[in-house]
Amino acid sequence: MIRTGQDGFTLIEGMLAGVVLAVGILALAAMQSMSLGRNVDANEITRVTNLAADMMERIQFNRGRAAAYNAIDTLNAATQPPATEPMARGDYTQWQTLLNNAGLTGVQGLVTVTATGPTTPPLNQRQVAVTITWLGSVKSETSLRRNKTMTLTTIVAPE
């Protein structure tokens, strides 16, 4: 037998390869966890965007009576439009139901309508802001929930 002075070298190579593989697998697992959390956030933001756009479309459809939607707060029934505004009142009720059934925790919808644009000549333009606030999802038992807010703003003018 001839010894070359490299006894045990393949064992060290195997151990180092195992360590490199373990580090790579741990990094992959961490990326998977982060990806899952971001996917949950993206899902919530998509639902909230669709809900805000729904109310914005309702207001644009009834743009001649846009002022009736001012100060809507889905957590306060006293802020619903008056009975003399049946379309706005119905939109409020439907939107409140959609928000409550969206699967979001602590969801609240707010609408503010303010007059904007030139007064001479009066264009009767109104700036509409639809804001939705909710409590973000928890990824694990140790994560803290945080309040999230999304606001859509547009200018509405009667025909």
**Residue 48 above 90 pLDDT?**
yes
pLDDT of residue 9: 67
By DSSP bridging, strand 147-156 and strand 72-73 are unpaired
Q: pLDDT over 90 for what percent of the chain?
A: 58
Region 85-106: mean pLDDT is: 93
Provide the CA 120 distance to its chain's centre, in angstroms.
39
Q: Delimit the domains of the chain by residue range.
A: 9-156
**Residue 131 above 90 pLDDT?**
yes
Rounded CA separation 47/56 (Å): 14
pLDDT confidence bin for 4, thresholds 50/70/90 = low
- Give the tens place of pLDDT for each residue, 6-44: 666 688 888 899 999 999 999 988 888 788 878 888 889
Rounded CA separation 128/115 (Å): 9
Region 126-153: mean pLDDT is: 83
pLDDT confidence bin for 140, thresholds 50/70/90 = low
pLDDT of residue 142: 54
pLDDT of residue 91: 95
Rounded CA separation 138/41 (Å): 10
Which residue did the predictor score with more confidence, 120 or 73?
73
- Give the tens place of pLDDT for each residue, 108-118: 999 999 988 77
pLDDT of residue 138: 66
Rounded CA separation 81/84 (Å): 8
CA nearest to 139, candidates 61, 57, 43: 43
105-116: strand order across its sheet: 72-73, 105-116, 125-135, 147-156
Contact assessment for residue 88 and residue 65, using Cβ atoms and an 8 Å cutoff: yes
Question: From residue 122, how far is each of 67, 96, 125, 154, 156 by CA, in Å?
Answer: 15, 33, 8, 18, 14
